[in-house]
Amino acid sequence: MRPISKVAPGWWDYTTLDAELLNDAARLSAEDLPRLAREGFAIRIYETREDFFLAEALEYINAWKQATADHPAGICGPIGPTEQLPLVARLVNDLDLDLRHAHFWGMDEWAIDGKAAGRDFPLGFAKADMDLCFNRIRPDLRMPEENLHFPTETPGDYTASYDRVRCVVMQGGQGEVKHWAFNDPPRREGKWKDEPPPPAEYRKLGTRVVELHPMTIIQNARTSGGGVVSGIPSQAISVGPLETWKAEKVSIWHPGWHDNPFGMRLTTLMISKRLPDSSVPMSLLADHPNVQFNFLRSGIGACDVEMH
């Protein structure tokens, strides 16, 4: 039987993995990480914050430059991190990039009483995308409203749009529970009481309302809500693996403050060694044909004991 989670006994998460794998990840140095690249899994390390976030912003520009009337194209983007978003708007404006045929998918959104949060919700992800990026683009260059795809509690059209429009790249961050978007590990109950869902089963999941792992709620309170856990919704709407596998490339950005040094090493190792496990949802990308991890060197840190 798999170990019980050390942080949430009723849930699956990375603390239920074999101790040998966890120890192997903790032993990895910053210099070891680039050596874990393989065919289909690229690893890039950036020396400065400026280079890191400019490279992330340029993924938007390079995707949108490929969009034409006959072949629309776009990018699916995260809210964590967000530092790239104002840079995207500035690049579009300075390059006079016409976005009429370009598309954008939001990765996720909070769910309030089972419905997607509105654009007036202070913690809202669509709100952040609009405030930090799209409302800063000159009106004559902006993409039409119908080219902005934000997930809702009725995701049929959102999901179908991935078949109508080429998703050049899906960006993401990594949370402390090792998710992209809000693809959290499931509860440890029912037929998944003794083993987490097989990777093939988890990969069938499309955009949906999800119940958030306790670690995700605490992390979002820390990073976005001043630590007020009671102000963080317990549900969200997340793009699923189903749509993720329709993206030509998955690009994950690790600045070093959304997850910790151990977590970044663990998912890198599991993807490199093709060890997908749904208790570590990010590891399922081991089966995607084109994944890139991007690290800010100063955020890689170490897994050493350091008392304060």
pLDDT at 202: 98
Give, in degrees to the nearest 5, the angle at Cα 294 between 211 and 60.
Answer: 80
What predicted TM-score, i.e. pTM, was given to this entire model? Answer: 0.96
Distance of CA 308 to the CA centre of its chain: 31
Where in the chain are the domains?
39-300
pLDDT digits (tens, 9 = 90+) for 235-293: 999 999 999 999 999 999 999 999 999 999 999 999 999 999 999 999 999 999 999 99
pLDDT at 307: 82
269 near 20, Cβ under 8 Å?
A: no
**Which CATH architecture does the domain made up of 39-300 adopt?**
3-Layer(aba) Sandwich (3.40)
pLDDT digits (tens, 9 = 90+) for 73-130: 999 999 988 999 999 999 999 999 999 999 999 999 999 999 999 999 999 999 999 9
